[in-house]
Chain A
Amino acid sequence: MFEKILIANRGEIAVRLLRACGTLGIPAVVAYSEADRDSRAVQLAEEAICVGPAESARSYLSAPAILSAAIVSGCDAIHPGYGFLSEDDTFAEMVRAHGLTFIGPPAEVLERFASKAGTRQLLRRHGLPTIPGSNGMLRDDEHALSEAERLGYPVLIKPSAGGGGRGMRMVRSARELQQALTICRSEARAAFGDDSLYLESWLEENRHVEVQVLVDRYGNGVHVGERDCSVQRRHQKILEEAPTPALPPRRRRELAERALAAVVAAGYENVATLEFLVDRDGNYYFIEINCRIQVEHPVTEMLSGIDLVVEQIRVAAGEPLGFGQGDIEMRGHAIELRINAEDVAQDFRPQAGRVETFLAPGGPGVRMDTHLYSGYEVPPYYDSLLGKLIVWGPDRETAIARARVALDELVIEGVTTNVPFHRAVLQNPMFLEGQFTTSLLDRVGSGAFLAAAGRA
């Protein structure tokens, strides 16, 4: 097992990683940028090391700064969290070359799955149905147009090098496609340093269902069920839940088993999430794989009782999985609400500023994963995620009821948040019936959505 782990991330996930290391009794060092000097993770850390100025490129995204920090502070492993360097195969290779362990898949596995276009083809070969899409990456505008013609509009333009909604656009015609290609390329270049794009057929009224898997170094793998992430705005997840209302139990099991079999056959190691679209007929199609711990991992933890971050660390340390598929029991229903610093009334504009008062909700089945504290200054340099409110109940209705109560207890004063938006979702008839689709919010419009909730 590792002697000392460098936590190479920030915000709520840094606190989460610190908790996992503490649970395992492994000393940890928190790497931080100057803007995060007063962050919760730094406050909690036994040891912390400043790696650079506020700009991510010179701190959290700087492979030399992170690796150097790990070495000089005597760490033998680095946990990259999510985003930042978590799926950077070059960084993973650098870490290994210096004799440290990157907590995640090995560099060659990351490299194998680095291209989303390539991964589609790889996992299709290993038995997963994929959405019809372009053959590989788009060479140029002409190639894009001809592929779109072949697939039929509408199509979704997607960046090959990353996710999170940036660089993605749905287009309904050749004219829209031509305009969108330039925008998508520049967004992708800015976000991921790589402007490669590919196309997928756009399925109307679809659900986003993803499968959590965990595979050790010896080829033993388990799935830990699925999550439904259909509540999205502009391809960004806002609320996640499990199990998915979109599929009956037998189909959910089948999906998870097929996903696991495919990644094990493709030689995967460590945690991963395989994302699928489910159409209104209940057919599922593989979209992409995320080779890291995900923001919404707590949903799965609430159902299974498994600490996914701890298991990640164990697998990276070379331990075999301590349990098999038959040992995993999924109970009840869980919902996660992403609490963001954004002004819903101003098109969800990100907010910075001082959280004057923060009070976390509590009670049975309530979990708050956050870095907030009263007096915390939200820096303007990073994403707007303030924390995640996760609730569990023996069934979906109870989970929803607990979520409403918890939202009423939650106090975040000083910064505008998307809590009103979550209240609206938790009252929305489509959501209550388990019929929410990924395009619903964008189609209806946030303003109308909130107004409808106000009248409910």
Chain B
Amino acid sequence: MTEHTPAPGPGGAAPSPPGGADGAASPMPPQMTRVADEILPALVARLSASRLHELEIRRPEWRVRLRRGRALPAPTDEPPPASRRARGGANQTAPPGNGSGPNPPQPSAGGTRVLVAVGPGGDPLDAPSARGTRGEPHRAIARSPAVGYYAPRDALAVGQSVRAGDVLGHVDVLGVPQEVPAPVDGVLGRIYAQAGEAVEYGQELVRIDSAGRSDR
């Protein structure tokens, strides 16, 4: 296992991790300490020894995904906690980068990068992930900036290419449109919200998949 140090990754400055910015591991919830100290080393060893490319373990409280990849700078911000469903309300996921999860460790020279996410399992393919590994797919979610009615831009469809900052649509708040920008470059992978749908703050609108970056 490697040290838990966040470092600036592609695309921007690292936010301060909760509990300290000096390279020490942030305080983790007890269940995560057990995951990190006992379970993760075993999984990493198992993945390295096998021919598997990716391994994921899901429990009600947490989810661990390991993916074999080349040695790269560590991801910038930790992945956020996964969804909590309010009874009757929309499925919630905290916006990325809000700094509330534990820090992922740096990749080892062997190149197995570990993503650690805390929370009830959702669809793992929808889990927002950290910045991309070269050649590896990663995903980001565009979320509603406000509570109102969602209006995607015309002809927004799965498979469409977008660039970071492109206006994917807007959310109508009492007649005032609030833009929904694409958080990353990529391709529309999945549509969660339909035109005219009532959405709440932070609600998932679309998922953008990226093939990784060829340049910074």
Contact = CB atoms under 8 A, between A and B. Distances in A.
Contact of B146 (A38, A46, A68): A68
B198 A50 contact: no
Contacts of B201: 34, 50-53, 59, 65
A105 to B, nearest CB: 23
A42 interface: yes
Interface in A72-89: 72-73
Contact of A46 (B87, B174, B198, B202): B87
A69 B174 CA distance: 10
B174 A64 contact: yes
Interface string A343-381: 000000000000000000000000000000000000000
A69 B88 contact: no
A395 interface: no
B147 A45 contact: no
A65 B146 contact: yes
A180 interface: no
Interface residues of A, number: 24
Interface in A18-55: 34, 37-38, 42-43, 45-53
Interface string B88-101: 11101010000000
Contacts of A68: 146-148, 173-174
B109 interface: no
A98 B174 contact: yes
A277 interface: no
A34 B94 contact: yes
B173 A64 contact: yes
Contacts of A51: 147, 200-201
Nearest to A97: B174
A42 B184 CA distance: 32
B166 to A, nearest CB: 23
Given A65-B173, A72-B147, A98-B174, A34 B88 contact: no
A71 B173 CA distance: 10
A41 to B, nearest CB: 11
A405 B199 CA distance: 47
Contact of A50 (B88, B173, B176, B203): B203
B206 to A, nearest CB: 18
A67 interface: yes
Contacts of A65: 146-147, 173, 201
A116 to B, nearest CB: 30
A37 B94 CA distance: 10
Contacts of B149: 72
B85 to A, nearest CB: 10
B198 A45 contact: no
Given A64-B173, A64-B176, A48 B147 contact: no
A149 B94 CA distance: 56
A42 B174 contact: no
Nearest to B98: A34
Nearest to A70: B147
B84 interface: yes
B125 interface: no
Contact of A47 (B89, B146, B147, B199): B89
Contacts of A49: 89-90, 147, 200
Interface string B134-161: 0000000000001111000000000000
A37 B86 contact: yes
A73 B202 CA distance: 16
Contacts of B200: 49-51, 69, 72
Contacts of B87: 43, 45-48
Interface in B191-216: 198-203
B147 A69 contact: yes
Nearest to A32: B86
Given A52-B201, A64-B174, A68-B174, A42 B146 contact: no
Contacts of A71: 174
Nearest to A58: B201
B198 A73 contact: yes
Nearest to A42: B86
A51 B148 CA distance: 9
Contacts of B199: 72
Nearest to B148: A68
Contacts of A37: 84, 86, 92
Contacts of A45: 86-88
Contact of B86 (A48, A67, A69): A48
Contact of A72 (B88, B94, B198): B198
Interface of B: 84, 86-90, 92, 94, 146-149, 173-174, 176, 198-203
Interface of A: 34, 37-38, 42-43, 45-53, 59, 64-65, 67-69, 71-73, 98
24 contacts: A34-B94, A34-B201, A43-B87, A45-B86, A47-B88, A47-B89, A49-B90, A49-B147, A49-B200, A50-B90, A50-B92, A50-B147, A50-B202, A50-B203, A51-B201, A52-B146, A59-B201, A65-B201, A68-B147, A68-B173, A69-B200, A71-B174, A72-B199, A98-B174
For the complex of A and B, the 10 pairs showing the least CB-CB separation, nearest first, are A72-B198, A47-B88, A48-B86, A50-B200, A48-B89, A50-B201, A69-B147, A68-B173, A49-B200, A68-B148
Given A37-B86, A43-B87, A50-B201, 17 more contacts: A38-B84, A42-B86, A45-B86, A46-B87, A46-B88, A48-B86, A48-B88, A50-B147, A50-B203, A51-B147, A53-B201, A64-B176, A67-B174, A72-B147, A72-B149, A72-B200, A98-B174
